[in-house]
Structures are given as C-alpha cells and as structure tokens.
Amino acid sequence: MPPIVAAIRESRRALARLLTRIENNAAAAELAALYSFGGNAHLIGVTGAPGTGKSSLVNSMAKAYRAESKTVGILAVDPSSPFSGGAVLGDRIRMRDLHGDSGVFIRSMATRGYPGGIARTTIDMARALDAAGFDIVLIETAGAGQSEVEIASIAQTTIVVEAPGLGDDVQAIKAGILEIADILVVNKADRPGAESTVRALRAMLDFGRRAERVMHHGELMSIAAVPSGGEDSAWQTPIVQTIATNGTGVAELLTKIAEHRAYLQASGTQRLRERASLSAEIAERLRDLLLMRLIEQVGAAHLQAIVERVVARQIDPSSAAAQLLAESLQERRP
C-alpha cells in the first residue's frame, strides 16, 4: 500500500492536508497513487436550489448511515466565498452534531478559487475520500450549472432536492437538473404545498423527461425513459418526502439509495456510466496535456504573435489553430 493511502486511512489530519493539496492542484502524484485503492465507496450526489435543505438532509443522512455503522465522508460545495464565512459557517452549525464522531469527515468548499476548477477538484477529493476508506461519500452541490452535471457524472446515485414554497416553479425543472436525478426528494414535507410539489414532479417524470442511459449496439446511449409499467430493467425515479430537520423520511430515502445501488450493479448500468464518464475524463485531460505541450513547443511569444494577427483580422481563429498545430508537428520531426 502506498504511504499516502496508509496515511489518509490512519489520520484525519493527513487526509485534510491531502485535500488542501488537491484544492491547490498540487497532488497529482498522490492522486495517481491512491486511484487503485478506491472504488468501494458509494458516491452520492445531493443537489438542488439553495435553501431546499440539502445541508440539513446530508446531516440527517450521515446520522442515519452512522446508525448503520457506515463511515461517511462529506464534501459540501458551497456558493459562498471562503472569506465571507456565510453559508459555510451555517453548514458547520447544522452539521455540528456530527463533529467529534471519527466515522464522519466533513469538508466545506467554496465554488471559486480552485486552479483545477470546481468540478475537477470535487471529483479528485471524492476519490481521496473513497481511497481513505469511507463507505459513503456525500457530495452536496448547490445546483444550477455545468459543474453540478459534471459532479453528478461521478456520483453513482444523484439525489435532486426540491422544497415547497420557493415560488410557483419547481426549482429543479427551472435549473434543468431534473434529468440527472436518480432519486427525487421533496424536503420540508412539513410545509404547505409539499403534496402539490410531489404531483408536479410526478407529472414531469410521467411525461418521460428523464433520460435513461442504456447500452445499445455496444454504445452508451441516452434514451427517453420508458413510461411507468414499461420494461423492468429501467429505473423508475422514486419521489421521497422528507423533513430533514427531524429525520422524517430519511430511512425511506436510504432504502431507495440502497435499491438504486443494487439496480446499478445488477443491470450493469454502473459499469456503463463509469466507462462513459472515465472516457470523457481521459479525453478532457488529453486535450489539456496536448494543449500545454503544444504551447510549450510553439512558445508563448509566437502564440501571442498569432493572437495579434487574429485580433488584426489578418487570419481567422480556426486557421490560426490549424497553423499552430502544423508548426508544432513540423518541429517534432527529426
């Protein structure tokens, strides 16, 4: 076992330090060493509009998992800046009852200030928690954007949280994140309007908005989900009502999460999703590496000169890129 894996399994302080290096985009060697020691945790994404009760729900879920003797790592990606304190502090207070339990590890993150980008940083941190041996890794993101979708791509189970009384619209539909839900939660079920939120969500699901990712002729494809009563093989997105502040409905949520995991494994969907997201990640990293190498080869000054020519409309951006590539290929020849 590489020393870094032994260290983060033994010491929470070593784990915290590694997460800081990941934040600073300075942990490539450690991430490479720990990768093969992951793959055991159940990665669960919890997303939804701000104020729906995600942090409260994550707190309740963590307590319920602890009651089952499962260890829990939590990544709370918070939109507030690390300097304002704001919501990060709020999360700390809400999750206070988890502190002092060595079976729980919590890390709050801001959404800005990561050299590697928020999605990349979160994914790398989740891998570190996985390798550190946590049974469950909960990733809370405030939903409304590409980074949630990217983060959801590594979560095995994505929970989209909705709450009544945030206006007439169903927030998840507005944010366009309903499609990534494996399980829908209507939290704040103690508030008026919960039933009508459930009905609105169920109607959306019955319209077949949810896309199921399936294997077809050896390709991972996204198709419209079969309407209820259709193929047994398709996962029917359940809607669970919860009251995060007192734990009502959380046991049922955990049951649905376990059922989803069993479905992922039995249907082979887990492997397919993993393969699709890893091949996308490799392509992205390859693009970055090639770009860096190319810029190194042609030189920053030359690149700048070409940019100036594009600015002066002497050459178009696409031809400029093609010219840079051609030059770098020529230089590589003996």
Ligand X SMILES: Nc1nc2c(ncn2[C@@H]2O[C@H](COP(=O)(O)OP(=O)(O)O)[C@@H](O)[C@H]2O)c(=O)[nH]1
Binding site for Mg ion (CB under 5 A): 54-55
Residue 247, interface with ligand X (CB under 6 A)? no
Based on CB atoms, which residue is closest to Mg ion, 112 or 271? 112
Interface residue with ligand X, options 21, 31, 35, 51 (CB under 6 A): 51
What H or E segment, with its residue span, contains residue 288?
Answer: helix 269-298
Based on CB atoms, which residue is closest to Mg ion, 95 or 126? 95
Q: What is the DSSP letter of 227?
A: P
Residue 212 burial (CB count, 10 A): 19
Based on CB atoms, which residue is closest to ligand X, 36 or 196? 196
Based on CB atoms, which residue is closest to Mg ion, 53 or 238? 53
Residue 244, interface with ligand X (CB under 6 A)? yes
The two structure tokens encoding residue 194:
């919960």
DSSP string, 67-133: HTT--EEEEEEESS-TTT-HHHHHHHHHTGGGTT-TTEEEEEEESS--TT-HHHHHHHHHHHHHHTT
CB of 88 to Mg ion, least distance (A): 9
Residue 98, interface with ligand X (CB under 6 A)? no
CA dist., res. 220 & res. 182, Å (int): 17
Residue nearest ligand X (C-beta atom)? 53
Residue 107, interface with ligand X (CB under 6 A)? no
Phi–psi pair at 42, nearest 5 degrees: -90, 115
CB of 140 to ligand X, least distance (A): 7
- State the distance between the two ends of the chain, measured CA to CA, in whole angstroms: 42
Based on CB atoms, which residue is closest to ligand X, 147 or 269? 147
Residue 171, interface with ligand X (CB under 6 A)? no
Residue 78 burial (CB count, 10 A): 22
Residue 245, interface with ligand X (CB under 6 A)? yes
Part in contact with ligand X (CB under 6 A); list of ranges 8-16, 26-34, 112-120, 242-250? 242-250
53 binds, among Mg ion, ligand X, none (CB under 5 to 8 A by kind): ligand X
Based on CB atoms, which residue is closest to ligand X, 248 or 277? 248
What H or E segment, with its residue span, contains residue 184?
Answer: strand 183-186
Part in contact with ligand X (CB under 6 A); list of ranges 102-110, 185-193, 267-275, 276-284? 185-193
The two structure tokens encoding residue 10:
């033994």
The two structure tokens encoding residue 317:
């951006």
Say how many CA atoms lie within 13 Å of 304 toward its Cβ.
3
Residue 52, interface with ligand X (CB under 6 A)? yes
The two structure tokens encoding residue 107:
């890390």
The contact set with ligand X (CB under 6 A) reads: 50-56, 90, 94, 187-188, 190-191, 243-245
